[in-house]
Each structure stands twice: as structure tokens, then as C-alpha cells.
Amino acid sequence: MNIEPADDLIERIAAVSVALPADPLDVDEAIHAGTRRRQRRRVAVTVTSACAAVLAVAGSVYAFRSFYQRADLITAGPKLAASVVTADQLAGRWIGVDVNAHDISSWRDASGLPANIIIGADRAADTWRANRYCGPLVAGTFAVKADGSFTFEPPAPSFQSCPMTTSVAPDLPDAIARTVQVEVDPVGSDPRTLRFLNGAGQPIASWREDMTIRSAASWCHTAVDAQAVYTGIFTTVEEVRAKAATSFPDVPGGAVAVYCTTVEQSATVTYAVTAGGKKAKL
Amino acid sequence: MRNNRAEADFREWVLQNRARLRTTAFLLCGDWFLADDLVQDTLGRLFSRWHKVVSSGDPSAYVNRILHNLYADHRRRPARREISEAEVDASSLTTTATPGERDDDLVRALLAVPQGQRTVLILRFFEDLSVTQTADLLNTSAGNIKSQTSRGLKALRCALMEQQNASEGAL
């Protein structure tokens, strides 16, 4: 029986090699999260300092008044969240947090993407796309009714053969199909949360806004050139491939891309660019 | 301008260190999904203090501290701990195809070492931290780190021997 001396074990730990699965790390998201965190810290410091100064200088009367004013603002929050939602407010990519009370935040599809729904891609405000464990995205439309309720149109059920997996894939089309009402946090409360509710107002699914698309202008600058302009239209790699089949050969079809335009040799040229800095000329 | 420069530096640092960070996180928790979430959170926190961390030297020490703290926080949450331990047995190892059988054995054996000792082994030998640096990061004494190291190596050796016995028994 082999008994390894400690030095050998230490060398083996130091040199341990693990084959890494698909890399889902999103550096843009990390930068956004870090920036938000830094801003929150600054605001907290500023607010704390301001409150201390107010308390010290103005005395208890002002302090109580500011307290009541702040209380009014807080109670206004839910009213804003429950106000009428428009399709434009839902545009973007939303990362799944939970579905049917199950935490799906750590679930990944075969290409390493989290469960997500993309609304309003290609400037079609009433369309949605969602991923499943493998295969193309599932797509459908939705409608906003006058009373603020929502009707999602799911696609016809289709079978997709996938490799064996030990985790159960969340059924996003089913969650979408059962939704009759949507609530979304007001603009400015980044990252916003989108909630799907059933007819009884009970939660079906919740989603966190993917903030990466907000830096699409910098994607254009990084991947194309400093003069490149973001057209304001985002799409999926799948859609880009439908236009130019050889585009992004090693990027998952469910990944988000944006359109950028620039001028090359006096002609306007359009590129599709991904968050990872890959570009495809269209 | 300063922010653009910081972003570029940060991206370059991530590009050079992401594979190692992911491996460290996986060796800590034994679950790729959780490991990637931990690394994603770690990078966000790192960027929020990027200027300060860079000006004080190599970000690696700070990153190790955040990663360890985030994982410790995760383990303190009972519901999440239950999920992650279940995943260690089922999904994580099946998604971890190591290139050589020898490394595969070692990874499995490492994941069988008690959590505290495993953390010390990873920080000491995979991250190449000194006893003092590890003690500082884990907020404990150097003596404790030395004893955890010794016990961890013993546990690792036992786990490797058990694997070896099991494979010989199977033959």
C-alpha cells in the first residue's frame, strides 16, 4: 500500500489541475456590481455624515421633521412598484432568481448561461425569449391589457433532446404561461426585480435585471472602435447567426449581443457585438 | 479617464486570474455552480475597492479573503448549506472531468477532508500562503494553522488510501 510522504502531497496540492467547465463569469456585471457597491458606500457615508451634522446643528425639532419626511418617502415605494407597467419598462434581460418557490439562481444551462428571459429584443417590445437546458431559445409574445394585467403567449410545446443532467431544468415557459400579472421595480432602483404573479397575486417567478446591457455603448467602443455607436437595439447570438451563419462560433446562442454602427471607408457598417468583446460584421 | 484605466486594469487582472480563482473556489466548496457564484460576487466586491487594493499591492490576498468570507457566509445559511452539500455528492464531481486520474483522485480526496482543514490546505499549498498569512486571513493563530495543516494532510492521506483500497477491492 502506498503511503505518500507529506512533501509529495503538498506538491500535488500545489500543482492540482482541474478541467474547468464553461466559464460563466461576467466581468461587466462584476464592474457594475462593484460600482454600485462603491456608490452605496459613498451614499451611506454621506447620509450618515449629513444626519450627524443635522442632528448636531439643528437639534431635535429638525431631526424629527426629517424623520417624518423620510417615512413618507418609504411608504410611497410600494405604490410606485404597483403602478401601471409598460412593455418598455420590461425590455432587457432578466436573470431567474426563483420559480415556483425554488431558488434557480445557481442553475446553468448546457452552455453555462443562467436561467433567463429576454424581453423586447430586436426592438420588438412585445416578444420574450427564454432559455432551457439545451437547444434554441423558446420564444413567444405578450400583451399588456388596459387594466395593467398581462397575457403571455407561450409557444407550442416542443420536445428537445438534451444530454443527461443531474439538476432539473426550471420550466420557464410554464412559469410564463401561468403569469397573469407582472410587477417591476421602478426605474432607478438598480438592479430592478421583475415579479410574475398568478391570478391570486401569488408569486410564480422573480427575476433580477441583468445590468450588462446598460454598458452596451462601451461594448461597441471596445470591440469595434472609439467612434462606434450603440444603436439601442439588443438581440441574441441566435438571431445574429440567423443573419450571418458563421458569426460567434464559440458563443452560446442565448447570449446577448448588441448592434453597433461605425463608418469604415466612408460607408456605415453594422456590427453585432457581445459582452465578451466579440464582434461580427453584418 | 481614471475609471477607464481602472476598468482596463481590472479586466486584465481577471483575465489572468479567473481560472485560478475558479479552481480555488471549487476546491473550497466542491460545487462548480456555487464556485462560479462565489467568484462572481468576489469580483464585484474586488472592483468596488479596486483603487485601494491595487495601491496596497497584489490583489490576490484581498481576493482570497473575500472569497473565503463569502463562502463562510454561505455556509452559515442553513438552507444553502444543505443544497451545496447535496450537490457535492451528485453533480459537482460529474461535471468535473479532471485531465489525469491522479488529479481526479486528489480532488475527490481533498473534498473528503473536513472543511476547516481543507481550507487551510488550499490556502497554504494551492494558494502558496505562509502560515502567518493564512492565520491572518482566517483570523486565527499560527499554531492553529500548523495543527490544522498537519491534521488536514493526515485526513487527505487517509482519504487517498481509502480510495486506493476501494479501487483495489473493485478489481
Query: In chain B, what percentage of residues exceed pLDDT 90?
Result: 38
pLDDT for res B168: 72
Last residue of a domain, one of B51, B72, B96: B96
Min Cα separation A9/chain B (Å) = 8
Are B5 and B69 contained in the same domain?
A: yes
Contact B44 A2 (CB under 8 A): no
pLDDT for res A147: 61
Asked if residues A253 and A241 have their Cβ atoms less than 8 Å apart, the reply is yes
Answer whether residue B93 shows pLDDT above 80.
Answer: no
Where are the strands (E) in chain A, listed by range? 92-99, 102-103, 116-119, 127-130, 138-144, 150-153, 181-184, 193-197, 203-209, 229-236, 256-264, 267-274, 279-281
Dist. CA B89–CA A5, nearest whole Å: 28
pLDDT for res B92: 45
Are B67 and B102 contained in the same domain?
A: no
Grade residue A97 by pLDDT with cuts at 50, 70 and 90.
very high
Torsions phi, psi of A260, nearest 5? -125, 145
Last residue of a domain, one of B49, B73, B96: B96
Map grid coordinates 466581468 to a residue: A27
Most confident range, picked from A28-37, B76-85, B96-105 = A28-37
Are B51 and B39 contained in the same domain?
A: yes
The mean pLDDT value of chain A amounts to 79
- Segment A103-127 mean pLDDT: 88
User: Within 13 Å, how many C-alpha atoms sit on residue A18's CB side?
Assistant: 30
- Residue from A11, A13, A164, A190 to probe the interface with B (highest B Cβ count within 10 Å): A13
CATH number at residue B53: 1.10.1740
Last residue of a domain, one of B71, B96, B121: B96
Min Cα separation A5/chain B (Å) = 9
Could you tell me what percentage of chain A is helix, strand and coil, using 3-state DSSP and rounding each to the nearest 5?
35, 25, 40
Are B86 and B8 contained in the same domain?
A: yes
Are B54 and B108 contained in the same domain?
A: no
- Segment B146-171 mean pLDDT: 85
Asked if residues B66 and B74 have their Cβ atoms less than 8 Å apart, the reply is no
**96-115 in chain A: CB under 8 A from chain B:** 103, 105-108
- Conformational region of residue A228, where left means phi above 0, alpha means psi within -120 to 50, and beta covers everything else: beta
Number of domains in chain B: 2
Contact B14 A27 (CB under 8 A): yes
Question: CB contact, 8 Å: B167 with chain A?
Answer: no
Are B14 and B66 contained in the same domain?
A: yes
In tens, the pLDDT along B26-58 reads: 999 988 888 999 999 999 999 998 888 888 777
Are B60 and B82 contained in the same domain?
A: yes
In tens, the pLDDT along A61-87 reads: 444 444 444 433 322 223 333 456 777
Answer whether residue B169 shows pLDDT above 90.
Answer: no
Question: CB contact, 8 Å: B39 with chain A?
Answer: yes
Question: CB contact, 8 Å: B49 with chain A?
Answer: yes
Question: CB contact, 8 Å: B9 with chain A?
Answer: no
Three cell numbers, residue A131: 432559455
**ipTM exceeding 0.90, yes/no:** no
Are B48 and B59 contained in the same domain?
A: yes
Are B82 and B12 contained in the same domain?
A: yes
Query: In chain A, what percentage of residues exceed pLDDT 70?
Result: 79
How far, rounded to the nearest angstrom, does the alpha carbon of residue A41 sit from its chain's CA centroid? 23
In tens, the pLDDT along A258-278 reads: 999 999 888 899 999 998 888
What is the full DSSP assignment across chain B? Answer: -HHHHHHHHHHHHHHHHHHHHHHHHHHHHS-HHHHHHHHHHHHHHHHHTHHHHHHTS-HHHHHHHHHHHHHHHHHHSHHHHHHHHHHIIIIIHHT---SSHHHHHHHHHHHHS-HHHHHHHIIIIIS---HHHHHHHTTS-HHHHHHHHHHHHHHHHHHHHHHHHHHHHH-
pLDDT for res A207: 93
User: Whole domain around residue B10: which residue ranges?
Assistant: 1-96
- Segment B9-37 mean pLDDT: 90
Are B60 and B112 contained in the same domain?
A: no
Are B83 and B117 contained in the same domain?
A: no
Answer whether residue B165 shows pLDDT above 70.
Answer: yes
Dist. CA A235–CA B160, nearest whole Å: 50
Dist. CA B130–CA B133, nearest whole Å: 5
Q: Which has more confidence, A226 or B4?
A: A226
Contact B48 A9 (CB under 8 A): no
**Poorest-confidence range of A140-149, A176-185, B130-139?**
A140-149
Dist. CA B112–CA B103, nearest whole Å: 14
CATH architecture of the region A87-158+169-209: Beta Barrel (2.40)
Q: Kindly report, as residue ranges, where domains of CATH 2.40.128.270 are found in chain A.
A: 87-158+169-209
Answer whether residue A189 shows pLDDT above 70.
Answer: yes
Dist. CA B124–CA B145, nearest whole Å: 9
Query: In chain B, what percentage of residues exceed pLDDT 70?
Result: 81
Question: CB contact, 8 Å: B22 with chain A?
Answer: yes
Are B70 and B154 contained in the same domain?
A: no
Grade residue B84 by pLDDT with cuts at 50, 70 and 90.
very low
CATH number at residue B141: 1.10.10.10
Omega prior to A163 cis, within 30 of 0: no
**52-81 in chain B: CB under 8 A from chain A:** none
In tens, the pLDDT along A202-253 reads: 889 999 998 888 888 889 988 898 888 998 899 999 999 888 888 888 888 8
Grade residue A159 by pLDDT with cuts at 50, 70 and 90.
low
Q: If 0-12 CB within 10 Å is exposed, 13-18 middle and 19+ buried, where does residue A248 land?
A: buried
Question: CB contact, 8 Å: B141 with chain A?
Answer: no
Asked if residues A178 and A150 have their Cβ atoms less than 8 Å apart, the reply is no
Residue A108 carries which DSSP code? B
Q: What is the pTM of this model?
A: 0.47
The mean pLDDT value of chain B amounts to 81
